[in-house]
């Protein structure tokens, strides 16, 4: 269980009075209309059946009443459960999925709720960049997935060498990450950085008033409530999740600063202890089992606070330059020992330059793509896009 003061200490940034005023200022009719018209098209509607196209196509008729209804939520601070009902559609993660663990739940939200969530997310996004540390690159404007891949590639370069300074890397897998986050923890992180109470209450309403109905092969049952988790498909979820992970980022960094975990070779001067992209976490450390113990303790502490548990079966340990006895000591932690190359954020993570033969899978994909163009009537400009 977390203590608010612990999170306050880990997240030192505090919003200024101007930022607080911006967050809780009234939403104009123009902002609300723009949010409706900015919603993606051809998306599955929520349980009420009204798509974004319905609202934009009939705006001259329904627009004024819809704007007033959205403003009423921000004035009263109460969200109708009918607005926040959600259809859960199960998407298989693997071919021939046979158990619930093999499916990813995607939330189909009502359009009215999506607009409210989008309005809140747009304001939160504009100021979160000042809170989230550079080690996190997901969902932050100006930060790229490729930065994580390039940094990780530089750090693991030479892991196949025999005579190399001892080092290690833990690739952490979090179990059901978005579905496991505790709401009280999310709200505590918002309070820690000085988010105004009215804004925190709006987000609390978005989380706590949600109801769900599961759709299986087009059939659905009754509605039920939830007590935790962030819905995938909710505009707010990415930013709330990144903020929750920032607590772990700061917790991990504090253990490095205190000397409980020691830096990976050639990373201390750059202050690179870990990289995060949403729930994809890589921690770099020296060869010491004491460092691995410190990382494990940080993961356990964060799990007890946030509800985000490490999936030990899918978490992988990589090391180089260690002795046989050190390898045995590492094995006592129960992590699967991985070997490079692996796929990291959809791209190959290599400890050396690629050989010509290893480019073949990529070349095959390119050939198939080029061949598919022969059957399409495209201009030269269209083929380059």
Closest CA to 310 of 325, 297, 294: 297
pLDDT of residue 381: 57
Two tokens, residue 288? 């010491």
In total, the chain counts a number of residues equal to 385
Residue tagged 């704007």 (tokens):
67
Its domain, for residue 18, covers 14-349
Say if 366 falls within a structural domain: no
**Per-residue tokens: 270:** 């750059």
Report pLDDT digits (tens) over 117-156.
999 999 999 889 889 999 999 998 888 888 899 899 999 9
Residue 369: inside a domain, yes or no? no
Cα–Cα separations (whole angstroms), residue 364 to 343, 358, 383 = 18, 11, 18
Give the per-residue pLDDT at 42.
Answer: 87
Distance CA 220, CA 211 (A): 13
pLDDT, tens only, 339-381: 888 888 877 787 777 677 777 777 888 888 888 776 666 565 5
- 53 is a domain residue: yes
Residue 334: inside a domain: yes
Look at the chain and report how many structural domains it folds into: 1
- The SS3 call for residue 107 is strand
Q: CA 153, CA 348: separation in Å to the nearest integer?
A: 9
How far, in whole angstroms, is CA 3 from its chain's centroid?
Answer: 24
Q: Report pLDDT for 75.
A: 96
Q: What is the mean pLDDT of each run of 10 residues along the chain (385 residues)?
A: 86 91 95 96 89 95 96 95 90 84 86 97 91 91 88 90 90 92 96 95 96 81 89 94 96 96 94 94 93 96 96 93 87 90 82 74 82 66 53
How many C-beta neighbours within 10 Å does residue 48 have?
A: 16
Nearest CA to 121 out of 286, 258, 243, 246 is that of: 243
CA angle 103, 104, 107 (to 5 degrees): 135
Please indicate, yes or no, if residue 8 is contained in any of the structural domains. no
Q: Are the CB atoms for 145 and 277 separated by under 8 Å?
A: yes
Q: Is residue 186 part of a domain?
A: yes
Domain assignment present for residue 356? The answer is no
pLDDT for residue 379: 60
Collapse the DSSP code of 135 into the 3-class scheme (helix H, G, I; strand E, B; otherwise coil) and give the result. Answer: coil
> What global pTM score does this model have?
0.88
Residue 363 lies in a domain: no
What was the pLDDT predicted at 245? 96
């Amino acid at each position: 269980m977390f203590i608010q003061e612990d999170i306050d200490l880990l997240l030192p940034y505090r919003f200024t009075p101007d930022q607080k005023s911006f967050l809780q200022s009234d939403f104009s009719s123009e902002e609300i209309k723009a949010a409706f018209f900015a919603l993606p098209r051809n998306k599955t509607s929520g349980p009420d059946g009204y798509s974004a196209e319905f609202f934009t196509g009939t705006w001259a008729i329904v627009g004024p009443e819809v704007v007033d209804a959205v403003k009423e939520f921000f004035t009263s601070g109460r969200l109708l459960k009918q607005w926040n009902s959600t259809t859960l559609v199960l998407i298989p993660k693997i071919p021939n999925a046979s158990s619930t663990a093999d499916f990813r739940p995607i939330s189909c939200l009502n359009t009215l709720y999506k607009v409210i969530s989008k309005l809140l997310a747009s304001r939160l996004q504009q100021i979160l960049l000042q809170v989230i540390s550079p080690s996190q690159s997901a969902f932050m404007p100006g930060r790229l997935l490729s930065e994580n891949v390039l940094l990780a590639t530089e750090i693991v370069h030479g892991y196949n060498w025999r005579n190399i300074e001892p080092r290690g890397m833990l690739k952490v897998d979090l179990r059901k990450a978005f579905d496991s986050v505790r709401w009280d923890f999310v709200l505590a992180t918002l309070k820690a950085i000085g988010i105004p109470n009215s804004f925190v209450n709006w987000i609390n309403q978005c989380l706590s008033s949600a109801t769900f109905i599961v759709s299986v092969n087009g059939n659905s049952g009754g509605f039920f409530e939830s007590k935790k988790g962030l819905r995938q498909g909710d505009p707010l979820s990415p930013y709330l999740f990144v903020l929750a992970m920032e607590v772990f980022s700061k917790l991990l960094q504090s253990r490095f600063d205190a000397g409980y975990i020691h830096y990976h070779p050639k990373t201390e001067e750059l202050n690179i202890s870990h990289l995060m992209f949403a729930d994809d976490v890589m921690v770099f450390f020296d060869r010491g089992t004491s460092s691995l113990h410190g990382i494990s303790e940080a993961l356990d502490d964060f799990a007890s606070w946030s509800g985000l548990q490490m999936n030990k079966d899918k978490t992988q340990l990589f090391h180089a330059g260690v002795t046989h006895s050190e390898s045995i000591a590492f094995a006592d932690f129960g992590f699967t020992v991985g070997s490079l190359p692996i796929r990291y954020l959809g791209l190959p993570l290599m400890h050396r330059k690629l050989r010509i033969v290893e480019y073949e899978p990529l070349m095959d994909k390119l050939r198939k793509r080029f061949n598919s163009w022969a059957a399409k009537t495209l201009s030269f400009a269209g083929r380059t896009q």
